[in-house]
Amino acid sequence: MKICFPKSGCVYRGVPINKIDTYQKDLFAKCKLIWSAYMPIVGIEAYQEKQFIILWCPGGDNRPYSSLKTMARDNKERIHYIRKASNMVEPSDDEEKDLFNLANRVPFDDRVNHQAEMSDLNITLIQNYLKEVKSSLYEKSKPRDYVEVCRDMNIISNLPEYVKPKNVGLMFFGMDPDKFFPYTQIDVVQFPEGLGGNNIIENTFKGLIHQQLRDALRFVKNTIITEKVVKHPDRAEADRFFNYPYAAIEEALSNAVYHRAYDVRELIEVRIERDRIEIVSFPGPDRSVTPQEGLKNYRVSNRRYRNRRIGDFLKELHLTEGRNTGFKKILNALEANGSPKPEFETDADHSYFISRLFVHEGFLKEENEKERVLTPSMKEVSNFNQKNERSLSKVLSVVLSKKDYSKVEKLIAYIEKNGAITRKEAKNICNKSSATVRRYLKKIVDSGYVEMQGSTNNVIYRVCNKTKK
């Protein structure tokens, strides 16, 4: 893109005011002939008391573009033109291959944001980052031009005539990231009473992506992670372990921030239940990662990174490594803590990704001990159940609240009649969404009188032996 400034003494005709709309419509029609779709930035400017149409044509995101070879009515042939010296020419076969190789789709984090201005970047944030990572640019940034520093960091466009921030610059050093990237946030949601409980605690972390990551990790470390010390009468050494190892959560959440799609308005959710932590992000991994083999065997050989620029900055801040080491670090941290192995989940369309970490068994046993302290009504239910004097529906009508029982009553009746139920059968009976049905079934399982059996994709809910007549 080149801007030609008028020479002194020259007289320019300009565009008649009554023709401006006509010319813009004609321009729009011509741009429709370009494939993929492209539209330049159009500005109407006054100079020497005349009107001019100014076109700004920054590089697009879907290059290379093709156009009709001629404007003849019957012409349907398209061609990719390249520039040689001062000429626009048809490329040779090799030149066209090079054109496609050089013009692969620009990742979202490395694109120029045409809605932003240089004033949306904060030089103080930039200098703080350079100082933290011990970059040689920090000392040079003090006397140097602000734009030169940004260009050296590759967080702005390279064209001197069209200086705009890139998305990665706004994500790490922007004055207001939410303005350009809505829902780029991390929600930490706690379910202290389980998914069916009324008590839900939500904490939202927004702002610069590395700062919201650090704030969310700090909250989890200070609020969720707990250490337990078990002393033994026969030896001096005590066993120490955590409900969740911090290193595993740090790696899983950092990977979610690294690999999520920032052009999709979906947040990252950290769901904390009684026995697990789930980190949900959108979309899922690259198509080269297989859900059945790669994720279940904790083996990923993917070399396509969705956000390389974001990964570079996070690596400099020691928040991620970007070398497919995430699974290994999570597994090592869990093994060192004595925790169960994790689960990683996505669907056939790779539309989401879940990292599932399970609580240490030592904390789960403690919870189970607390649950054994039964209320009088529950003791009564237990006694009746041992004598086989009550049906499952009567038992659960006492154990569950009236509100919860009304929701699952049809499911209980089906289980009581058939001895078991699948998720598909439960969904047909309730006529609710899959997520709602899972919550209903979890209420029944949490009662202790129905158990869940089978694999993740083939789960059956059966009556426990202690409840059968």
Q: List, for residues 345-360, the tens digit of each pLDDT value.
A: 888 888 899 999 999 9
In b/e form, how buried is each residue of 150-166, taking b as 16+ CB within 10 angstroms?
beebebbbeeeebebbb
Is residue 168 a contact partner of residue 306, using CB atoms and an 8 Å limit? Answer: no
Using a 10 angstrom Cβ sphere, with 0-12 exposed, 13-18 middle and 19 or more buried, the burial of residue 228 is middle
Q: How confident is the model over 359-390, as pLDDT tens digits? A: 999 887 666 555 554 444 444 444 444 444 45
The secondary element (H helix, E strand) that includes residue 363 is: helix 361-371
pLDDT in tens, 398-434: 778 888 888 889 998 898 888 888 888 888 898 888 8
Band of residue 195 on the pLDDT scale cut at 50, 70, 90: confident
Range name among 128-132, 251-255, 303-307 with the lowest pLDDT average: 303-307
282-326 pLDDT per residue, tens: 988 766 666 556 577 666 655 556 788 999 999 999 888 766 667
Asked if residue 186 lies in contact with residue 205, where contact means CB atoms within 8 angstroms, the answer is: yes
Tens-digit pLDDT profile for residues 67-94: 888 888 888 888 888 877 678 888 888 7
pLDDT at 246 over 90: yes
The two beta strands, 343-345 and 460-463, are unpaired
Instruction: Label residue 394 by pLDDT band (50, 70, 90).
Output: confident
Contact predicate 168/310, CB 8 Å: yes
In the predicted model, what is the mean pLDDT of the chain? 82
Pairwise CA distance, residues 249 & 272, whole Å: 12
Mean pLDDT, residues 134-152:
85
* Cβ count within 10 A of residue 125: 16
- Measured distance CA(275)–CA(354) in Å, rounded: 16
The predicted model gives 446-469 an average pLDDT of: 71
Cβ(24)–Cβ(42) below 8 Å? yes
From the list 107, 217, 216, 125, the residue with the least C-alpha distance to 170 is 125
Stretch among 8-17, 275-284, 331-340 having the lowest mean pLDDT: 8-17
What integer pLDDT is reported at residue 37 of this predicted model? 81
Positive or negative: CA dihedral 442, 444, 445, 451:
negative
pLDDT at 238 over 50: yes
